[in-house]
């Protein structure tokens, strides 16, 4: 069976450094930090009192009040980003909706909904009074379901949940469904809205987040010697993936081609990465093999790079094992230094970042670098503090999740 080619024909983004694709790219290319004190709730008693929130977000700017009340914020984010991607692609024009699907990613789903309903019950008189929308708002698949319902897409429809690898897994799944001929187009990506009391408190309990409350703007500092954990982010990233001949027939613009996807498991620990990096070595090798390319063909790696002491080092070790001497010719950067960590939504916005880097021939920087980490090879190009212009033909996007889930996605400059 001959596999079909899959291209990207639409992009959407709602991020802490820009509320659409254009604003997002402006933030990325100019090294803008999205971190600031938390406004969603009173965080004064928490060890971490800052996060990367969506700026100026008001659901009533996008939905009527009644509609917004039926959706958790992670689903609202999913609809906003996917609406932009669908409009960008022109996918609603002259398309067989039976052959269009939605595969979305979210690691946690409706955390705020779950938190609020449990608090309401626990502080009441014990009478079980729950909002009838509690369950449909909370469950992760309400995101893909709502996107499908809004647009009438009747193709494959489900959500991937694999912690911080969730939306990269959704992209790989969509890629496979299309190249196997099971759909002609799929809206994919991911969203997360975990900046809540429970989200911040839970990650603080794990000692996973930065506690740099005196300087939140520079708190996300991947590969810096003094990094002390990730900064929690929120938002959504969306892509429209489409079978090439289908896109060509309708005259769609093409951003890039997706040419490979790899998955692996550390099989090591439920939260900690394997310090040897072997699972990450395997996932990048799997993706390269799937794409049919050599390590020497890669120009840019958008790393997982969360700003955690163990995780950053393990990924760098793996990159050097996979790419050898070519590792010194590749640009590496972590856009989480700007957006924070969107958890299950990370792969969505980072795939968009990788594609925009190819389009604009510009590598987004890893900001907030102040002190070299002697354990990391100084010959590697981490694209510190300032974007770097270069021709990018092939870009890799890495995302890894609690539980040892590893995913790599590879995009190539479009050349018909």
Tell me if residue 9 falls in helix, strand or coil: strand
CA atoms within 13 A on the CB side of 351: 43
269 is known as an active-site residue: no
First-residue to last-residue Cα distance in the chain: 22
Strand 235-243 and strand 300-302: the pairing is unpaired
Which of 52, 246, 341, 369 is catalytic? The answer is 341
Tell me if residue 202 falls in helix, strand or coil: helix
Tell me if residue 273 falls in helix, strand or coil: coil
**What is the distance between the alpha carbons of residues 48 and 171, in angstroms, rounded to a whole number?**
31
341 is known as an active-site residue: yes
CA distances from 301 to 79, 204, 257, 350, 351 (A): 28, 29, 16, 10, 11
Return the bridge partners of 381, or none. 331
DSSP 328-378: GGSEEE-THHHH-B-GGGHHHHHHHHHHHHHHHTEEPPB----SB-TTS-T
Residue 21's closest CA among 355, 305, 293?
355
**What is the distance between the alpha carbons of residues 216 and 414, in angstroms, rounded to a whole number?**
38
Which pair of structure tokens corresponds to residue 184?
């002609």
Which of 164, 246, 369, 405 is catalytic? The answer is 164
CA distances from 108 to 114, 166, 360 (A): 10, 9, 33
Which of 118, 246, 269, 304 is catalytic? The answer is 304
Active site residues: 164, 304, 341
């Amino acid at each position: 069976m001959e596999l079909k080619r899959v291209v990207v024909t639409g992009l959407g983004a709602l991020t802490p450094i820009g509320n659409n694709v254009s604003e997002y790219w402006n933030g990325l290319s100019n090294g803008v930090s999205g971190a600031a004190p938390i406004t969603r709730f009173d965080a004064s008693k928490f060890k971490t009192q800052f996060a990367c929130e969506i700026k100026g977000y008001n659901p009533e700017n996008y939905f009527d009040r009644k509609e917004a009340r039926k959706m958790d914020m992670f689903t609202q984010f999913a609809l906003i980003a996917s609406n932009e991607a669908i409009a960008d692609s022109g996918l609603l024009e002259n398309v067989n909706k039976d052959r269009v699907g939605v595969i979305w990613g979210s690691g946690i789903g409706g955390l705020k909904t779950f938190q609020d309903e449990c608090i309401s019950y626990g502080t009441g008189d014990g009478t079980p009074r729950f909002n009838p929308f509690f369950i449909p708002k909370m469950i992760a698949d309400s995101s893909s379901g709502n996107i499908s319902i809004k647009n009438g897409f009747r193709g494959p429809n489900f959500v991937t949940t694999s912690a911080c690898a969730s939306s990269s897994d959704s992209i790989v799944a969509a890629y496979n469904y299309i190249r196997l001929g099971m759909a002609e187009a799929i809206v994919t990506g991911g969203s997360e809205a975990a900046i809540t009391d429970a989200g911040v408190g839970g990650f603080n309990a794990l000692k996973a987040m930065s506690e740099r409350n005196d300087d939140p703007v520079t708190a996300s500092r991947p590969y810096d010697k003094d990094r002390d954990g990730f900064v929690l982010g929120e938002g959504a990233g969306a892509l429209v993936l489409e079978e090439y001949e289908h896109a060509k027939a309708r005259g769609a613009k093409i951003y890039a081609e997706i040419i490979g996807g790899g998955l692996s498991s550390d099989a090591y620990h439920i939260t900690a990465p394997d310090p040897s990096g072997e699972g990450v070595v395997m996932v990048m090798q799997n993706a390269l093999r799937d794409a049919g390319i050599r390590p020497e063909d890669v120009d840019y790696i958008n790393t997982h790079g969360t700003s955690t002491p163990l995780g950053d080092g393990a990924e760098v070790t793996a990159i050097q094992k996979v790419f050898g001497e070519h590792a010194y010719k590749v640009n590496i950067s972590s856009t989480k230094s700007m957006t924070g960590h969107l958890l299950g939504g990370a792969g969505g916005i980072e795939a968009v970042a990788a594609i925009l880097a190819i389009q604009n021939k510009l590598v987004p920087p890893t900001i907030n670098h102040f002190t070299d980490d002697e354990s990391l090879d100084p010959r590697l190009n981490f694209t510190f503090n300032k974007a770097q212009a270069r021709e990018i033909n092939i870009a890799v996007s890495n995302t890894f999740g609690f539980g040892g889930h590893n995913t790599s996605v590879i995009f190539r400059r479009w050349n018909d």
